[in-house]
Structure formats: C-alpha cells, structure tokens
Amino acid sequence: MKYIVWTAYDILYAMALFISMPFFGNRFFGRDRMYHDFLERIAVYNKDISPEFQNKSIWIHAVSIGELLASFPLIKKLSDKFKGNQIILSCVSRSARTIAEEKLPQNILKIFLPFDFSFVVDASIRKLKPCLFVSIEAEIWPNLFRTLKKHNTPIIILNGRISEQSFRTYAFFKIFLRKIIDCVDCFIMRTQKDAENIIKLGADKTKVSIAGSMKFDYAYHLSQNYPCEQSEKTIVFGSIHRGEEEAIAEIIKGIIQKYSDINVVIVPRALDRTNIYQILRQKKIHFEKFSNHGTSHSRVLVVDKYGVLTDFYRKCEFAFIGGSLVPAGGQNPIEPLAFKKPVIYGKFHEDFEDEWKKILEAGAGFEVKSFEELSEKIDFLIKNPQISSSMGKSGYEMILKNSGRISDIIQVLEKYIVR
C-alpha cells in the first residue's frame, strides 16, 4: 500500500511539474544555464562533498529570496562556529541562487533543491551526506522529508510560518501530511499562531517552540554591515505586485508633477511578470531601467535586477511595501527600518502579521486601506520630514528590541550537529 501511495505521489508531482513549467520555467532555470540548473535538480553536482565533511554537512534550505536573506545571519554564525562542517545552501528559484552566489562566501556550497522524486532525493542525500537538514519557514517536501528520515538525518523547521491559506491547503491533505510532519524533529515557529497551526496539522506539541521572526536579526545584520546613508529625496515602491502597478503609476505621476525635487524608485516583485514598463509608457511617465542607469536623467527608476533593493532602502526617505494593497499576503516590511526609514503598508499583510503589529506599536509606519490613502500618506511624509525621521528611528529601536534570537537558535541546532 505504501508503495502505491508514494508511486502515485511521484506521478502527480511529475504532472504538476510538467504543467507548471510554461508558467514558472524562467524562475526555476536560468536561461543561460538551463542545462546545468536541470542537472543539479536531478542530483548531478559539479562539486561533491569532501571526504572530511561526509556525514557532517549542514543542509539549509531557503526556497526563494526572502527566506534566503533571512538565513544570512544564521549561515554566517554557523560557518564561524562549525568550521569542521560543510554548510550547504539550497534554493528553488534561479534569482535566489544568483543572490546566494553573489553575497555568500565560496566555502558555502550552493545548490538547487532536488526535484521531489523519491529516487532523485535519495541520490542527493547519498551524495551530500548531511548530518542535519534545516528548512527556513515551513516548506514541506514529502519525498525529501521521508528519505532524510530513512537516512536518520534530523529535520528542523526554522522560522516556521503557516499562513491561513497554507493551513487550509495543508488541512485538506492532513491525513497524508501527518506522516511527513512526524519526520520532523523540531519546529521552531515564528509566532503562537504559527505554532498552533502546525500542532493542528499533526505536529507533536513537545517538538514545537516559538522564537520570533528571523527577519529582525537580518535587519539588524543589515544595520551593522551596511551603514545608513544620508537620505536622498527618493521614495521607494518596493516589491510591487501585479494589480498594484496601475494605481501606483498614477500616484508616481502625481508626485513628479507636485514635487520637482523628489525622485521615485519602483522595484517589481517578479521581473518576468511585471507590466510596469507598459503602464508607465501609457501614462507618458519617463523612466529609466536600473540596468541602463546613468544613460538619462529620469526621475523615475525601475529596478530590473534582483538583490539590490537594500541599496535603495538605505538611501530613500521612506518606502511603500508592495503586495499589501492586493490580496497577496504582503512582503517583508522590516528591511527599510534597518536604515531608520519609515514604511507604508497596505491592508493585506497576513504573511507578516506579527512584524506589522510590532511596527505599528512602535509608531514606525502607516497602514493604508486604499491607493487614495497611500497617496495622502506619501504627501504627509514628504511635507513632514521631521516626523518621518522620528518614525524611522522608532523602527530601528524596535528592531534592536526584537533581534538577537540567532544565538538561541544555534544552541538548539547544536544538539543535532555532528562535529
């Protein structure tokens, strides 16, 4: 019966993978490195684990850019403390992999997460020989988890997050998922609600703890490693989703008409699916792409590269965080506050509910219900720079108060690491 169930899963997974490729293929594979990327996803690696690290590698999985960035302070501390262990970092998206290669040292082995076929993940585990697998947030890969367990490799869910939408989806497959959840040795969740959700899905409550969000530690890491620059008269619209672009373009048109000394930076969430260029042209808003920066003197810059948003948060007056005025769950609102820059956020923030609550309590941001209200708050902050500066400083103090969890997390991980 087990064989039938897992064979059926492999078939369904293959069908889902095949159907999704026309829509997400560009995110999975780099156009210039498609063959190499594909080989890694079937566990064919250019670099094998050195014999000295076999059965001592620490495998950290961060699905995409947000989880990857949040893992940086953890990876640095693990690398410093466990020099006799190989750190392996896996990602799913090509954009996350590119950022990992650019920002992490060469001694960190970067790979793509293998396709979740039973024979592929088994081959991957036999080659990588991890002593510990850590999944950032709460991605559940059935074949990977059960095969890790078969190889007696401990599994830890770290910075665990179960949104309401994910909970409803997982609950539908609760009977099947319970056996996968049983494979996990430790759940370190962000909030009480996340902890309750994973327990409802079948996790043993003795395995569940709460450590807060790692994104506060990442923000503190930014503040210490990237000095805050003098604010330029620039407003950043960060991680903008489809559905927000039209209204935001109209707001930008108003800004450049009303304020001759204000510049605007737009950072689309998904570069391969944005309509922002077409919309700006339709509205006759002159803009420049980041990749061509310096070729014109446009006051509107569209960022067409992943991994550089931090640089613009450092220099701006304040930022609007996208994915929050359409029902997309929001994006990370903490990063600008690392540089004492206040944030404006929409009403859809269920994926960052706890972080946003802390920001509001600290008086470090505004929540808006509509694009009209967003325009009003932008005008307010432009006209009241002292209030804007005070809000940013309050946000930074909030980060200091909520960071420092990584050391506690490493104490937990240390119990499972073979030196």
- Does the CA dihedral 159-57-97-406 come out positive or negative? positive
Catalytic status, residue 288: no
The CA-atom distances, in angstroms, between 234 and each of 255, 256, 296, 343 are 11, 11, 17, 13
**Length of the chain in terms of residues written:** 419
Instruction: List Cβ<8 Å contacts ≥24 apart for 223-228.
Output: 223/338, 223/339, 223/396, 223/399, 226/310, 226/314, 226/338, 226/339, 228/314, 228/339, 228/340
Catalytic residue, candidates 40, 52, 67, 164: 67
Please give the order of strands across the beta sheet that includes 208-210. Answer: 109-112, 87-91, 57-61, 130-136, 155-160, 186-189, 208-210
Closest C-alpha among 194, 219, 157, 224 to residue 402? 219
Secondary-structure breakdown of the chain: helix, strand, coil percentages, each rounded to the nearest 5:
55, 15, 35
371-383 vs 245-258: helix crossing angle, rounded to 10: 30
Half-sphere exposure of residue 216: CA atoms within 13 angstroms, side-chain side:
23
Half-sphere exposure of residue 395: CA atoms within 13 angstroms, side-chain side:
30
By annotation, the residues acting in catalysis are 67
